[in-house]
């Protein structure tokens, strides 16, 4: 007791390999493990940015929610058309459909300047000049909507057709 050094070695450390042991050298020899270890140390010392996802900022969405509920939410759009898809959801499905419409719209027809009205009941696209109704879609039939990752202002949605139920 007192100030005399103890010869006692705890049980759990007695069998553990020491840093200079062959087992430890072998396990740290592989470059992949060393790189992973180095990255782990670097990442632990770096300051993490306090990143808050946009969707968790309710104050930014409250105005949009109010506009949708009161049926005053509108967007100026260029309507490219519609194309049949065979999946009911997916970013890639939407992006492929937009590619087809963009490539095909040049040869078939020009995009139509229109206004998209979004409400709790549905989506409505009205031509800007003639005020003619292009699309009137109930919200219950919309299964997926997504922004285009390749084009900043691209947007598409997937829905069932009212007549064919596809």
Which DSSP string corresponds to 49-106? Answer: P----GGG-HHHHHHHHHHHHTT-EEEEEEE------SSS--HHHHHHHHHHHHHHHH
In a domain, 50, yes or no: no
Give the HSE-up count for residue 24: Cα atoms under 13 Å, Cβ half-sphere. Answer: 7
Cβ atoms of 115 and 136 closer than 8 Å: no
For residues 78 and 114, membership in a common domain is answered with yes
Strand 112-118 vs strand 155-159: parallel, antiparallel, or unpaired? unpaired
Query: Given this model, what pLDDT does residue 51 score?
Result: 60
CA dihedral 14, 19, 20, 21 (to 10 degrees): 50
Q: How many folded domains does the chain comprise?
A: 2
Give strand pairing partners of 146: 156
Count of beta carbons in the 10 Å neighbourhood of residue 139 = 13
Query: Given this model, what pLDDT does residue 128 score?
Result: 92
In a domain, 6, yes or no: no
Query: Given this model, what pLDDT does residue 131 score?
Result: 94
In a domain, 57, yes or no: no
What letter does residue 163 receive in the DSSP assignment?
Answer: T
For residues 77 and 142, membership in a common domain is answered with yes
Average pLDDT rounded to a whole number, residues 79-104: 83
For residues 81 and 155, membership in a common domain is answered with yes
Query: Given this model, what pLDDT does residue 110 score?
Result: 81
In a domain, 121, yes or no: yes
Domain that holds residue 17: 11-45
Query: Given this model, what pLDDT does residue 44 score?
Result: 63
pLDDT greater than 60 at residue 15 = no
In a domain, 5, yes or no: no
Name which residue leads in pLDDT, 114 or 16. 114
For residues 68 and 19, membership in a common domain is answered with no
In a domain, 166, yes or no: no
- For residue 48, give every residue at least 6 positions away whose Cβ sits within 8 Å of its Cβ, in sequence order, or none: none
Average pLDDT rounded to a whole number, residues 133-162: 84
């Amino acid at each position: 007791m007192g100030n005399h050094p103890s010869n006692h070695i705890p049980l759990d450390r007695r069998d553990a390999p020491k840093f200079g042991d062959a087992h430890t050298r072998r396990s740290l020899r592989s470059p992949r493990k060393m790189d992973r270890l180095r990255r782990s140390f670097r990442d632990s010392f770096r300051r993490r940015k306090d990143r808050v996802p946009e969707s968790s900022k309710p104050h930014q969405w409250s105005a949009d929610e109010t506009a949708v509920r009161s049926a005053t939410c509108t967007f100026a759009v260029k309507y490219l058309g519609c194309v049949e898809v065979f999946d009911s959801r997916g970013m890639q499905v939407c992006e492929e459909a937009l590619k087809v419409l963009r490539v095909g719209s040049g040869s078939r027809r020009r995009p139509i300047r229109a206004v998209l009205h979004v409400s709790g009941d549905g989506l409505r696209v009205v031509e800007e000049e003639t005020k003619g109704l292009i699309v009137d879609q109930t919200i219950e039939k919309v299964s997926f909507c997504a922004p285009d990752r390749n084009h900043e202002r691209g947007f598409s949605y997937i829905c069932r057709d009212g007549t064919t139920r596809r």
